[in-house]
Amino acid sequence: MSGKGAPELTVEECGDLRVAVVAAQWHETVMDGLVAGALRAARELGTAEPTLLRVPGSFELPVAAAALARAGYDAVVALGVVIRGGTPHFDYVCQGVTQGLTQVGVETGVPIGFGVLTCDDEEQALDRAGLAGSREDKGHEATTAAVATAAALRTVA
């Protein structure tokens, strides 16, 4: 299980951080769970209600995350799901999204929470979506990681 060994993150003094969530629209049930987990994490961390921006698919996440980072958000959370099919399309989308989001974070200095599920089948995605019966809540985890990183970066400045 991918959640093994995950750190217990403690985040303090982050109530004034501006957080944005950018979420793909493909696989509606999975995405509903990821978005709900992300918004719940933001509330639990005491941040203001995050801006939520929806884009068509996961491939569009990097350009939207870049726009949000440049707009002054302290943390951006990218949520999507890519499910393996019978063609190399899965590999190209996963690689593009991962590299694109990494580039956005490095170039802007804004933490990007990586909540993009890359799964072999829908069952794996549902198990990570934070829904009733899911074993993991990747939307919540991605938001907590992004906000914790933004809070940590404050100590550098």
Averaged over 3-24, what is the pLDDT?
80
Which residue's structure tokens are 């961390």?
A: 45
Number of helices (H), then strands (E), in the chain: 5, 4
Do 147 and 8 touch, CB atoms closer than 8 A? no
Does position 2 have pLDDT exceeding 60, yes or no? no
Who has greater pLDDT, 100 or 2?
100
Does position 55 have pLDDT exceeding 70, yes or no? yes
Catalytic (active site) residue 140: no
pLDDT digits over 35-49, tens only? 999 999 999 998 888
pLDDT band at 90 (very low <50, low <70, confident <90, very high): confident
Q: Give the residue ranges of the annotated binding site for (2S)-2-hydroxy-3-oxobutyl phosphate.
A: 86-87, 128
- Domains of the chain by residue range: 49-117+130-142
Q: pTM of the prediction?
A: 0.92
The reported pLDDT for the residue numbered 6 is: 67
Do 61 and 103 touch, CB atoms closer than 8 A? no
Do 41 and 30 touch, CB atoms closer than 8 A? no
Q: Give the residue ranges of the annotated binding site.
A: 26, 58-60, 81-83, 86-87, 114, 128
Write out the CATH class of domain 49-117+130-142.
alpha beta
Which residue's structure tokens are 């990570």?
A: 128
For residue 156, give the H/E element and its range: none
Of 29, 43, 70, 89, catalytic: 89
Going through the chain in order, the beta strands assigned E by DSSP cover: 19-24, 51-55, 75-83, 112-119
The reported pLDDT for the residue numbered 89 is: 86
